[in-house]
Amino acid sequence: MSLHRRNDIRDALLDDVYASPDLSHSLPKYRMPAEEREPRHAYALIHDELMMDGNARQNLATFCTTWMEPEVRALMAESVDKNMIDKDEYPQTAEIESRCVHILADLWNSPEAADTMGCSTTGSSEAAMLAGMALKWRWRDRQRKAGKPVDRPNLVTGPVQVCWHKFARYWDIELREIPMQGERLLMSPETVLERCDENTIGVVPTLGVTFTGQYEDVKGVSDALDKLQAETGLDIPIHVDAASGGFLAPFITPELEWDFRLPRVKSINASGHKFGLAPLGVGWVVWRDSAELPEDLIFRVNYLGGDMPTFALNFSRPGGEIIAQYYNFLRLGREGYRKVQQACHDIAFRLSEAIDRMELFDIIHDGGTSGIPAVSWRFKPDAHPGFSLYDLADRLRTRGWLVPAYSMPPDREDLVVQRILVRHGFSEDMGNLLIEDMRAALAHFERHPVGVPLTAFETGSFDHSGR
């Protein structure tokens, strides 16, 4: 080997990562490079690029878990090679999934918790698809038995998360989404009844509406549907989208009747990776009893060994999130969940008080127990602040906070709202930092109003040529 070549190899081994040819030149991004490279070089490159992402802990837009205990990280790393669909190969992971379903059925007051059906999913979106399909199948059976047409199913919801729009479109169902009206930003029993008929496969109230954080009145809707049945014979089931609330209400407002205590509630979904405190990638759907889940939606496969019933859209899926969910159940118990969620509610409520004291905003949801630990607000109707909530969101971003501003769904598209989620891992002191930054932003806009045109614009002396 020539001396020159040996030096090449020595250089490659000793090169500082950032002095290496891999990092001191730009690498191709949209086609696969021809050669391989050092793992630490590829790692540094990608690690550094990801710094440009927002900081998840400061992302107050997300509902999802952004803080977890080291034990969760350890279990996730230990199970990174486990495929939860291989139930015969990983029987304990399958057993743990099944235990989680029973724990949730019990938490949601299923009268038959031991005999209930349910499964894990990738999140509430997949759970909504599965629950929605069960509703559609059950409705179709009923219609066929009565010799009635089965071509025009509809689903009645309040202002729902986009997964229900997807469900309706993908499965050819008319979505009767109750529009917001004036100060009513949720479904009401009356508005539900107006939209129900014999083609209604179900009604979906949301426990923790995405746009505001408030709970819809499941019991009120259930009572109204009981009355409808007494008067007309129409028996319309309820599915509760408890993506967030399913892991909050049982601990914080156990007296609130929204779950299987109401006989009309046939199924419930929740996101394990939201207030379930599990890492990203797990949701749950539970049916009150096996009769609510039509047998022909369940597939039995034996090519992995064993005879395993599955109901899921996907096949392979990581097992770690389910294991981490089970860890949280064991680790925290009811007491631990109550403490964590109560802390979130308390901090959210104090934030809402501080935001209220700024005297510019009307609080829509104050983070209290009539909804999730989120605060949503809008400008007071008579406020002329010289900036928009979008401007405020931008300004807060300069300090790393992600505080979304967005317009409401129909018929209140005119209403712009801002919202923060208080999740596990958000401390009172982080809240104080946020409030200080909000105050600083307001002071900034007072000095530099956004809505006021520059003098140059007003006098017409501004050069529009872009020079």
Ligand X SMILES: *Cc1c(COP(=O)(O)O)cnc(C)c1O
Given the rule CB under 6 A, which residues bind ligand X? 63, 123-125, 161, 163, 206, 208, 210, 241, 243-244, 271, 283
Percent of the chain that is helix, strand, coil (3-state, to 5): 40, 15, 40
Give whichever of 93 and 206 is closer to ligand X, judged by the CB atom. Answer: 206
Smallest distance, Å, CB 327 to ligand X?
A: 19
Q: Please report, for residues 108, 110, 238, 276, 372, the alpha-carbon distance to residue 235 in angstroms, rounded to integers and kept in the order given.
A: 22, 20, 10, 32, 30
Give me the least distance between CB of 283 and ligand X, in Å please.
Answer: 5
Q: How far apart are CA 328 and CA 277, in angstroms?
A: 7
Shortest spacing between CB 248 and ligand X, in angstroms: 11
- Phi, psi at 370, each rounded to 5°: -85, 10
Instruction: Name 426's Cβ contacts closer than 8 Å, sequence gap at least 6.
Output: 57, 60, 344, 347
* Closest to 132 in 3D by CA, of 240, 209, 210, 226: 240
CA–CA separation, 430 vs 417, rounded Å? 22
Considering the complex, state which of residue 154 and residue 206 has its C-beta at the smaller distance from ligand X. Answer: 206
CB closer to ligand X, 321 vs 391: 321
Q: Which residue has the tokens 């989120």?
A: 374
Q: Which residues contact 303 (CB under 8 A, 6 or more apart)?
A: none
Q: How far is the CB of 130 from ligand X (least distance, A)?
A: 12
Query: In the bound complex, what is the minimum distance in angstroms from residue 225's beta carbon to ligand X?
Result: 20
Element (H, E) at 23: helix 21-24
Task: State which residue, 59 or 271, has the beta carbon closest to ligand X.
Answer: 271
CB of 64 to ligand X, least distance (A): 7
* Residue closer to ligand X, measured from CB, 62 or 188: 62
Q: How far is the CB of 2 from ligand X (least distance, A)?
A: 59
Q: Which residue is nearest to ligand X (CB)?
A: 123
For residue 8, which phi and psi values (nearest 5 degrees)?
-55, -50
Nearer to ligand X, 208 or 431 (CB): 208
Where would I find the beta strands (DSSP E) of 373-415? 374-379, 405-407
Q: Which is nearer to ligand X, 64 or 85 (CB)?
A: 64
For 313, other C-beta atoms within 10 Å of its C-beta total 12
**In the block, residue with structure tokens 């050669």:** 35
Token pair 């989620």: residue: 421
In terms of C-beta density within 10 A (0-12 exposed, 13-18 middle, 19 or more buried), how is residue 168 classed? buried
Residue type (1 letter), 147: G
Q: What is the CA radius of gyration of the chain?
A: 26
206 or 328: CB nearest ligand X: 206
Q: How far is the CB of 244 from ligand X (least distance, A)?
A: 5
Min CB(210)–ligand X separation in Å: 5
The end-to-end CA distance of the chain, in Å, is: 59
User: Cβ of residue 208: shortest distance to ligand X, in angstroms?
Assistant: 6
- By beta-carbon proximity to ligand X, the closer residue of 63 and 445 is 63
* CA distance linking residue 444 with residue 421, whole number of Å: 24
Q: Which of 7, 283, 14, 320 is nearest to 161 (CA)?
A: 283
Least spacing, CB of residue 129 vs ligand X, in Å: 10
> How many CA atoms lie within 13 Å of 154's alpha carbon, on the beta-carbon side?
15
Please identify, using beta-carbon distances, which residue of 86 and 321 lies nearer to ligand X.
321
Q: Which is nearer to ligand X, 161 or 212 (CB)?
A: 161
One-character DSSP codes across 296-322: GG-EEE-TTSS-EEE--S-S--BSHHH
